[in-house]
Structure formats: structure tokens, C-alpha cells
Amino acid sequence: MKTMHPVARLADLREDRGTAVEIEGTEILLLRVGDEVRAFQAQCPHAGAPLAEGAVCQGRLVCPWHKASFAVDDGHLCEPPALDALQRYPVDVRDGEVLVGTEPLPAQTAEPQSDDRLFIVIGAGAAGTAAAAALREFGFGGRLLLIGREPGEPYDRTALSKFVLQGDKAPDEAPPLREADFFRQQRIERLHAEVTRLDPQLRQLELANGQTLSYDGCVLANGGEPRPLDVPGAELKGVHLLRTRADAAAILANLPEEGRVVIVGASFIGLEAASALRKQGLAVDVVSPVSLPFVKQMGETLGQHFKTLHEANGVTFHAPNEVVGFTGDDQVRQVSLKDGTHLPADLVLVGTGIAPATAFLANLPLAEDGSVPVDTQLQATAGLYAVGDLATFPFAGQPTRIEHWRLAQQHGRLAARNLLGHAERYADVPFFWTLHHGKRYEYLGHPRQWDDMHLDGSLGDQTFVALLLAEDRVVGVVACQRERATAILAQRMRQPLGRAEALDIVQAN
């Protein structure tokens, strides 16, 4: 019989969060459910976050860092960015004492069903990898092909603006979403290629090398392309976009040891890059058409907070203003603005958003912005699903396109389930996080408008939760260094949440 180790008293365990214990060098998380206890791995399988710092809400354990969630009953994955269930351990309660074994229990996996269909996932980023992994997780036993334009294994693209540009990681050290062994073991065929045409009526696609493939089901998960600036001089060396590892490597290779960088656009990526390049010791100017960053998403008070934070760290804003041209002999040297200002520049980073990468689609109506309209199950037309950055889907009663990395993964898993005959709809809370001058900010929801903001904590101390409210109901949350509170809110906001209950959650955590 396997050895069971006494580790805690049942009466000492809380039901609203986990408790971490260590047994012979193995850290294990205990979750109390009434008079029973579950035992799981203590770190989130996505990025190693300590799950004891997360929260239990509505039958789910929510990761503090990136809000992956797992079922309390058996640890199965409910929401990404984790792509694996929690490892389980044997546990017993005897006379009020909790005993745990260190020999992991077998993983719970769906038996693959015999299937002669071919499913193709186009795009090997966050959404595509999540879709392919989920198809196997949910028992699809047919042929599965994952097509990506970038060489190598899928990776965490968000690391580029957060960690790579500030020198903490090399471009090829951006964390992989899955290792090569995973794709081999799961029989997911990887194809490095570009799709040049897809006809959903024929259920057929063509590759740049002339190859034609016919599919039974397909997931469009190839995201978007950065929008270049259409101004004189945009072709000069030193004017960069940021989307891929290769883009990040080109920027780092072009960085002067000292000098000035001009960032066009005060987007999340633009200001993450501003923060990263200030850490590299470069002077940074940001040009934006709006007076305050993030004002559309967060309002004036929080927009001013971010502007002040960046200015305190040496970033100079030119806003509202626009770039009208770049000059230099071969290499960019100067950025001309609409108000007549000329900014010296050794490097320019254009961060003015992305356009859905849908030019290869034939016989499929597109939305005005070039995205793919889908129904509540993310289906564009029979056998074809669209997810992530290139999908416009019904959300809160309106057609919506959301460019969030985690939402793209949620979409990928949902499309996989629906490809297999389910009819589920997106019912989660959009979430992303952003890094500015060493501080981690979280954003929950996708509010289009609100009439009040309640602030708990201090903007100046960068420890706060801001509730965005519409008719006293929480429609969005912005927070800094309050990760347990946002873990609960990320789950609780799946249903209507009033101000009073939200404040109770925030003030208790």
C-alpha cells in the first residue's frame, strides 16, 4: 500500500482557497469541499503560478496570475490559458486528519473515438494550439492538421512586448505553448505553410506551394496582421512592426546602445514596448491620436494614471497628434508630426493595431473590418469555425471582436467542442493582463460604456481594484496587485454582479 502522509487538520482548511503543503520535496495543494479534501499539484500548469494564492469560486479553482480555472471536483481544465488538467494525488480524511500520498493518480483522458474525418486548424498561435489540443482532449480520433506560417513550435506571443524587448528573454526563449513531443504524442500533424485560398463551399483550401487539401471541419485561428502606416518613409530601415519572434529579433538587432525610440500608438503593446525600451535605457517618445492612453477601455481617471506612470518613468507623450512621415537616408532618422513637430528617431515601432488576416477566404461574407462573422457557437458556415482576433461574435447582445490572447484560447477550445457536435456558446469573462514599468495590471470584462467607477485602494501605490459600473452592475474591472480578488471576480462576473457583492469580494480579498 502506498504511504499516506498526515499533512493537516480538516478543521484548519478553508473552502474559499487552497492550502499548500510540502511532502518529501513535493508541493501539493489541498482543497476542502465540505468534509472531503482534494489534492492537486500546487503550481498552475500554464506558468507555474502558486495556486494557493488563487481562489475557489462556484466549484472552480482560479489561477491568480492568468485566470486559468480548474474543476474543484477532479482538477479538469475549465478555462485556459492552461492547456492541461491538474495532476491529482490520493487523499484521505481520518478522524479529522488529512493524509496525502505523493504518488500521482493516473491522468483522466478521453478515449479517442475511431474517426475517418480530417480536421484542419489554420493558425498555430494561441487560438489554434488551444483548438488542436482540445480536439484530442475531447476524444477526436481522426486526422488533425495544424497549419502555421511561422517556423518552429507555437509560442506565447505576449512575451515579446513584455519580456523580450526589455532583454529578459531572447526571442527564441518566448515560452512554447506546447513542446514538439506533445504534437507527436497527440498525432497532431504540424505543417509550416501559408494558406492562399479557402473555399468553405467546397471545404477545400490551397497552400502557397500549390497543394490542395479537402477538410471535413476547419477552424480559422490565424489572427491578424499588424497595420503598417501609410505615410512617406514608412519603408525606411528602422521602422518596425511587432507580431512575431522574427519582428522582435529585428527590433533588438536594430536597437542603438543609446538614442531615441518613437512608438506610434498608445496601445497596450505600444506602451508595454515603451516600458520595456525604457528599461533598456533608451529615450522613448509615444505619439497617439488620443490625449490619454486606454481612455476608451478604462475611462479618464485610469487613462491619466497610466500616462502619469509612464511619464514618471521617462516616457514623453505627444498627444493628441499623428505621424505624417518618416525621413532619413535609408535608415529612419526623424519622425514628422501633424502639428509640425519633428522628433529625432533611431528606431520606430508602429503599434496601431491589427487587421484580421482574412484575404485568403473565398465565398465567405466578411464584416466591414475584414473579420469573419460567426454565430453564438463560433460557426461561420457549415464545417467552418472562426476564433480569436479574426472573429466577430455575439457578445452581450452585440457583434463584437476582441483582440485578447486568452479569449482566443477560450474560443479555440469552444470551437473544438462544437466541431465535435456540441452547441456551446462563449459564456466567460474576457481577461487580459499588461505589464508597465514592473507593475502587473489586470483587466476583466469588455464594457462598452459605464456610468460610474468605484476605486478600492490607491492608484498612487499601484495597489487597487477599480470597478466599472453600469446602473450599479459591474461591467469591467481594472486592478493592480490584487490577484486573489480578481481571481474571484473573473469567475463571479460570469453572472450579473452588483456593486455591493463586488465590494464585499474586493474588501475580503
Say which CATH number the domain at 475 has: 3.30.390.30
Distances (CA, A) of 464 to 46, 441, 455, 479: 25, 10, 7, 5
Tell me which H or E stretch contains 479.
strand 473-480
For residues 403 and 79, the answer to whether their CB atoms sit within 8 Å is no
371 in the same domain as 446:
no
pLDDT at 181: 95
pLDDT at 317: 98
Q: Which three cell numbers stand for residue 275?
A: 516600458
147 in the same domain as 217:
yes
Q: Which runs of consecutive H residues, i.e. helices, occur in 39-171?
A: 126-137, 159
Considering only CA atoms, which of 149, 142, 286, 124 is closest in space to residue 209?
149
What does the alpha-carbon distance between residue 455 and residue 477 come to, in Å, rounded to a whole number? Answer: 10
What does the alpha-carbon distance between residue 51 and residue 483 come to, in Å, rounded to a whole number? Answer: 11
332 in the same domain as 248:
yes
For residues 71 and 87, the answer to whether their CB atoms sit within 8 Å is no
Considering only CA atoms, which of 444, 490, 497, 506 is closest in space to residue 472?
497
Beta bridge partners of 145: 120, 189
The CA-based dihedral angle spanning residues 343, 346, 352, 357, taken in that order and rounded to the nearest 10 degrees: 150
What does the alpha-carbon distance between residue 4 and residue 333 come to, in Å, rounded to a whole number? Answer: 68
Chosen domain end from 368, 390, 419: 419
The CATH number that applies at residue 30 is 2.102.10.10
147 in the same domain as 90:
no
Return per-residue pLDDT of the chain as tens, 509 residues: 578 999 999 999 999 999 999 999 999 999 999 999 999 999 999 999 999 999 999 999 999 999 999 999 999 999 999 999 999 999 999 999 999 999 999 988 878 888 999 999 999 999 999 999 999 999 999 999 999 999 989 999 999 999 999 999 999 999 999 999 999 999 999 999 999 999 999 999 999 999 999 999 999 999 999 999 999 999 999 999 999 999 999 999 999 988 999 999 999 999 999 999 999 999 999 999 999 999 999 999 999 999 999 999 999 999 999 999 999 999 999 999 999 999 999 999 999 999 999 999 999 999 999 999 999 999 999 999 999 999 999 999 899 999 999 999 999 999 999 999 999 999 999 999 999 999 999 999 999 999 999 999 999 999 999 999 999 999 999 999 999 999 999 999 999 999 999 999 999 99
Report the predicted TM-score, pTM, of the whole model to 2 decimal places: 0.95
pLDDT at 114: 86
153 in the same domain as 13:
no
What does the alpha-carbon distance between residue 268 and residue 40 come to, in Å, rounded to a whole number? Answer: 35
pLDDT at 358: 97
What does the alpha-carbon distance between residue 198 and residue 204 come to, in Å, rounded to a whole number? Answer: 6
Dihedral sign, Cα of residue 134, residue 33, residue 88, residue 489: positive
The CA-based dihedral angle spanning residues 64, 162, 124, 238, taken in that order and rounded to the nearest 10 degrees: 170
For residues 432 and 404, the answer to whether their CB atoms sit within 8 Å is yes
3-state DSSP assignment of residue 253: helix
What does the alpha-carbon distance between residue 351 and residue 227 come to, in Å, rounded to a whole number? Answer: 8
Chosen domain end from 387, 419, 451: 419
DSSP 173: G
For residues 20 and 109, the answer to whether their CB atoms sit within 8 Å is no
For residue 365, being part of any structural domain is answered with yes
3-class SS letters over 381-393: ECCEEECHHHEEE
DSSP 333: -
For residue 432, being part of any structural domain is answered with no
360 in the same domain as 220:
yes
Contacts of 145 (CB under 8 A, 6+ apart): 118, 119, 120, 121, 188, 189, 191, 213
Q: Which three cell numbers stand for residue 386?
A: 472562426
Q: Which domain holds residue 453?
A: 438-508
Q: The cell 489554434 sits on which residue?
A: 128
Beta bridge partners of 19: 30
The CATH number that applies at residue 144 is 3.50.50.60
252 in the same domain as 342:
yes
What does the alpha-carbon distance between residue 264 and residue 350 come to, in Å, rounded to a whole number? Answer: 5
Considering only CA atoms, which of 417, 442, 439 is closest in space to residue 430?
442
Chosen domain end from 352, 386, 401: 352
pLDDT at 1: 56
413 in the same domain as 373:
yes
332 in the same domain as 283:
yes
94 in the same domain as 125:
no
Burial class (CB in 10 A: 0-12, 13-18, 19+), 449: exposed
b/e code 335-370 from CB counts within 10 Å (16+ = b): bbbeeeeebebbbbbbbbebbbbbebbeebebbeeb
Indicate the number of domains in the chain.
4
For residue 251, being part of any structural domain is answered with yes
362 in the same domain as 215:
yes
For residue 427, being part of any structural domain is answered with no
For residues 28 and 36, the answer to whether their CB atoms sit within 8 Å is no
What does the alpha-carbon distance between residue 219 and residue 222 come to, in Å, rounded to a whole number? Answer: 9
32 in the same domain as 43:
yes
Contacts of 495 (CB under 8 A, 6+ apart): none
Considering only CA atoms, which of 14, 12, 130, 10 is closest in space to residue 484?
14
